Amino acid sequence: MITAEQKPIQEIMEYVRPYSRILLVGCNECVTVCAAGGRKEVGLLSSALQMAFMQEGKVLDVKEMTLERQCDPEYVEELAGSINQVEAVLSMACGCGVQEVARRFKEKPVYPALNTKFMGASERQGVWAERCQGCGDCVLGLTGGICPIARCSKRLLNGPCGGSSHGKCEINPDVDCAWQLIWDRLKALGLEKRYEDIAPAKDWRASRDGGPRRIIREDLAS
């Protein structure tokens, strides 16, 4: 899923300070799962903003909505009925959702309430960790199902750097060394031999280095 965290309340307040009526829009997908921008967080942020402005002697009118998916035009359309009643939109979706709202409602300022972080998985209750960088040419089949691009601090494709120590990465003892994990997994699978094949220089065009990416499915495209 795409993970996100709420921005500092001060930053959000600066965005909405010029307005007295805003639409606060959550999303029911990833940001709900990582407890950053779902219905519940929309409610909490709404009260927090209203109270904070109240202390400054200002009344902020917040209309709350949470869409099924903010990155999908079909659901974003649901905002059409309310958009004219507000001066600005504050979005609690990931960056994709914020942009979809901005694209649909060109005359309305849209602000992000979250910092979108990474594509990751939940390690345990309340902890999410990065797992994929969307490099566009997945190598997990060669690395025992552990991503060297997202999880090795130097995105090394041919094995651990000299800084790998007791299973941890040189940058921080709280970070697992991806190559220790890969090696352990290759061993468990009896695929140690695979390690000695040289992974050639990666073609980063499939990643963001090739420019903004797009998928066109002829069979589905209208």
Partner 1 sequence: MKTQSALEKVLAAGHLAVTSECGPPRGALPDKIKEKAELLRGYVDAINVTDNQTAMVRMSSFAACLFIGQMGLQPILQMVTRDRNRLAMQSDIIGAYAHGIDTMLCLTGDHPCFGDHPMAANVYDLDSIQFVQMVKIMRDEGKFQGGDEIQNPPKMFIGAAANPFGDPFELRVARLAKKVKAGADFIQTQCIYDLDRFEKWMEGVRDRGLDEKVSILAGVTPFKSVGMAKYMKNKVPGMSVPDELIKRMSGVPKDKQPEEGIKICVETMQRLKEVKGVRGFHLMAIEWEQKVPEIVERAGLHPRPLV
Per DSSP bridges, beta strands 2-6 and 114-124 are antiparallel
Q: Which is nearer to partner 1, 78 or 192 (CB)?
A: 192
**Which residue is listed with tokens 């504050």?**
90
Taking CB under 6 A as the binding criterion, the range among 29-37, 51-59, 136-144, 210-218 that sits at the site for ligand SF4 is 136-144
Which option in ligand SF4, partner 1, none does residue 195 bind, with CB closer than 5 to 8 A by kind? partner 1
Q: Is 129 in the site for ligand SF4 (CB under 6 A)?
A: no
**Residue 63 CB neighbour total at 10 angstroms:** 16
CB of 147 vs ligand SF4, minimal distance in Å:
3
Give the Cα separation of 109 and 15 in Å (integer).
10
Taking CB under 8 A as the binding criterion, the range among 16-24, 31-39, 103-111, 194-202 that sits at the site for partner 1 is 194-202
CB of 81 vs ligand SF4, minimal distance in Å:
39
How many residues touch ligand SF4 under the rule CB under 6 A: the total is 23
Q: Is 164 in the site for partner 1 (CB under 8 A)?
A: yes
Give the Cα separation of 87 and 99 in Å (integer).
17
Candidate residues 158, 189, 191, 208; the one interacting with partner 1 per rule CB under 8 A: 158
Q: Is 81 in the site for partner 1 (CB under 8 A)?
A: no
Which option in ligand SF4, partner 1, none does residue 166 bind, with CB closer than 5 to 8 A by kind? partner 1
Give the Cα separation of 134 and 154 in Å (integer).
16
CB of 136 vs partner 1, minimal distance in Å:
15
Q: Which is nearer to ligand SF4, 87 or 176 (CB)?
A: 176
User: Distance between terminal CA atoms of the chain?
Assistant: 27
Give the Cα separation of 34 and 54 in Å (integer).
29
Q: Which is nearer to ligand SF4, 33 or 132 (CB)?
A: 132
**Phi and psi, residue 99, nearest 5°:** -70, -35
Q: Is 23 in the site for ligand SF4 (CB under 6 A)?
A: no
Helices (H), ranges, 58-198: 73-76, 80-83, 95-104, 148-151, 178-188
